[in-house]
Amino acid sequence: MVFTPQRAPRSIDLVPLHDLPSWLSGDFGTAAAQVGGNLMVLAAFGFFLPLRFAAVASLPRILVVAAATSATIEALQWVFSIGRVSSLDDVLVNTLGAVLAAAASRRWWSRSASPRRRETPAFPDEDGPVRANAVPVGEAGRSVGDGGSGSHGDLAASAD
């Protein structure tokens, strides 16, 4: 839908809310397709992004990321010269769709992508802070659980 070539010369419209009246002036089906389609372009992105990435779990951040993503899509439509109109109204409505979808998913943000989530450490380090990837070492320098065979490599023994 976004990169479908059209048999028309490429064009660009950087005037805010210039295309929107033309979308709404046609029949209801055309208006619904234009507005509804543009609202849906980044809706899934806006819905799931804060669920997956805690760093963007706020509406202002989603607004910025969605606007940048939509502007990139519009720029690529113009650069590839596929006969589509690159419009600032598309950026605005795509961004609005992402923000509305993010607002709809907001109740699940704290459960899935908490910004203060800590990793559970595997083993505590005796001499300092807890390290997540620490491997316990047995008496002879072998990893605990290797059965004493040294199959995991014994750096101290191999240096002799």
pLDDT digits (tens, 9 = 90+) for 92-136: 999 999 999 999 999 998 665 545 555 555 555 555 555 555 555
How do residues 4-17 score in pLDDT, each as one tens digit? 666 777 777 788 88
Percent of the chain surpassing pLDDT 90:
33
Percent of the chain surpassing pLDDT 70:
64
Tokens 């607004």 -> residue: 63
Q: Using a cut of 0.75, tell me whether the model's pTM lies above it.
A: no
Question: Residues 106, 132: one domain?
Answer: no
For residues 26-55, one letter each, b for 16 or more C-beta atoms within 10 angstroms of the residue's C-beta and e for the rest, the string is: eeeeeeeebbebbbebbbebbbebbbeebe
What is the distance between the alpha carbons of residues 154 and 32, in angstroms, rounded to a whole number?
Answer: 68
Its domain, for residue 137, covers 120-148
Question: Residues 124, 108: one domain?
Answer: no
